[in-house]
Amino acid sequence: MLNSALSYFPDQDAVTEILKRFYVENGKDKKRPYDDVPKLILKPTLFAQQMLIASTFVEVWLAKEGHSGQVGMNLLEKIQLAIPAQIFGAMLAGVDYLLIGAGIPAQVPRVINSIVNGQSLTMKIDVGDTNDKLVLNFNPAVINNVTYPLSRPRFLAIVSSHALVSYLNKDVETKPDGYVIEYHVAGGHNAPPRGKNSTNAFGEAVYSEADLPNLEKIRASGSPFWLAGGFGTPEKIKAAIELGAQGVQIGTLFALSNESGFSKEIRTEILASLDSGQLRVTTDAGASPTGFPFKVVHIDSTLSDINLFNQRTRKCDLGYLRTPFKRESGGIGYRCPAEPIDTFEFKKGVTEDAIHAKCLCNALMADIGLAQLRPDGRLELPLVTIGSDLDGAMDLVKIYADGWSAQEALNYLIGV
Ligand SMILES: Cc1cc2nc3c(=O)[nH]c(=O)nc-3n(C[C@H](O)[C@H](O)[C@H](O)COP(=O)(O)O)c2cc1C
């Protein structure tokens, strides 16, 4: 399947090189670890760029295979170094929508417009919490045999406040085609609470009325919007439409469906917990290296167990959430709060940011059955995220105790 998707990639020389370096016929030996892929950096090699573009191409190509529906790809603004290459790969596969949250995606409309015409572009990259910026250069010419112009996907910014809607709408350079307005019960990362002292004694982010988006102001902006976070029931969809939304974005019901990337063991355990009314989902203020609150499902054998988290040997080998910082010597380094604490401190990272930080890169790979094998024989452990509004999932587990398909979730949502 992967090979057939790659056979549609425009640059077949790049594909040959990727397969030569990484493809293992019939899958790798379970006793061997996965090889390292190139890390995200400001000046990546040609091969690293081609691999990132091709991998995003494959993801979208496979999602579009076998139907005529529309496909959107959801990216994290926080992983800035990957954005141009990922957008390009997705556009080569004909992605219909790009959705970007976890940050302020003000540069994305300009990036998309340049890529449509195959023009090289620059993107400003944040340097930690400082006001400094670095520049990432990206040239679509790293991929050969592309016919321009590419068709332009619609771009929706995922935000949690009307203030961000007015900020992004101010300038045509930053204005998206619409918005996904995400409430803080949503799965994955959430916007930080607005109030001061908003972390409780258990390290959970605590939200208040002030964190609810003002839909009146958002409607008045004239931009189309969709609602997300706790909209996974037929009643909530109806309410969203009545509030002026074009529709809703739902994650949790599909993350728990049979087709989801989550491994079967994880889904089975979550469904059993859900069925017995015991499932606990919290908003962990310190788990994500991004500094954003992150929804965590408390189930066995995952990093939600503090003992298992403390037993893990910290290692940063995937590095997607690393951010650049300026070394005292003047050069650029990269650091992540989830890397070994002494290394992070040596790089002048703030210890407090590191203490609870979990390696989401390795944990999310483990979630989908691709846990890395460590030299001492241990496998990296999962850390699972879903939303904290479980109404839709509770309805579905009553009908389908052994799990539901994405189609069954859709039938439930639209009342078929
Ligand atoms: C497993 C999972 C992973 C997610 N990953 C992302 C992500 O990478 N980027 C993002 O913008 N949203 C992400 N989300 C949020 C969804 O896009 C969606 O907005 C949210 O799940 C909607 O709320 P719900 O969980 O109540 O359905 C994720 C959600 C889940 C459940």
- 70-125 pLDDT, tens digit per residue, is 999 999 999 999 999 999 999 999 999 999 988 899 999 999 999 999 999 999 99
Cβ neighbours for 348, distance < 8 A, ≥ 6 positions apart? 325, 328
Question: Which tens digits make up the pLDDT trace of 265-314?
Answer: 999 999 999 999 999 999 999 999 999 999 999 999 999 999 999 999 99
Q: Ligand 1: distance of its center to the CA of 258 in Å? A: 17
Integer Cα distance of 318 and 360 in angstroms: 10
CB–CB of 335/319 below 8 Å? no
According to the model, what pLDDT value does residue 1 have? 57
Q: Ligand 1: distance of its center to the CA of 126 in Å? A: 24
CB–CB of 5/58 below 8 Å? yes
According to the model, what pLDDT value does residue 107 have? 96
Q: Ligand 1: distance of its center to the CA of 308 in Å? A: 25
**Mean pLDDT score across all residues of the chain:** 96
**Pocket-testing residue among 78, 368, 386, ligand 1, by greatest number of atoms within 8 A of Cβ:** 386
Name residue 326's beta-bridge partners.
332
User: Measuring from atom 12 of ligand 1, which residue has the nearest CA?
Assistant: 188
User: Measuring from atom 16 of ligand 1, which residue has the nearest CA?
Assistant: 251
Backbone angles phi, psi at 235, to 5 degrees: -65, -40
Please say if the pLDDT value at position 195 is more than 90: no
What share of the chain has pLDDT > 70, as a percent? 99
According to the model, what pLDDT value does residue 197 have? 84
Q: Ligand 1: distance of its center to the CA of 188 in Å? A: 5
DSSP 380: P
Closest CA relative to residue 382, chosen from 394, 396, 368, 392: 368
**Pocket-testing residue among 86, 97, 249, 254, ligand 1, by greatest number of atoms within 8 A of Cβ:** 249
Integer Cα distance of 145 and 10 in angstroms: 6
Query: Among 144-158, 191-205, 364-378, whose mean pLDDT is lowest?
Result: 191-205
User: Measuring from atom 14 of ligand 1, which residue has the nearest CA?
Assistant: 188
According to the model, what pLDDT value does residue 6 have? 97
Integer Cα distance of 166 and 189 in angstroms: 22
Please say if the pLDDT value at position 183 is more than 80: yes
- Number of neighbouring beta carbons within 10 Å of residue 67: 8
Q: Which atom of ligand 1 is nearest to the CA of 100?
A: 11
Is the N-terminal amide bond of 149 cis, ω within 30° of 0? Answer: yes
Confidence of residue 2 (pLDDT cuts 50, 70, 90): low
Per-position b or e across 4-24, b if 16+ CB within 10 A of its CB: ebbeebebeebbebbeeeeee
**Strand, helix or coil at 206?**
coil
Integer Cα distance of 20 and 16 in angstroms: 6
User: Measuring from atom 19 of ligand 1, which residue has the nearest CA?
Assistant: 228
**Pocket-testing residue among 252, 260, 267, 390, ligand 1, by greatest number of atoms within 8 A of Cβ:** 252
- What's the rounded mean pLDDT across residues 202-208? 95
Integer Cα distance of 171 and 173 in angstroms: 5
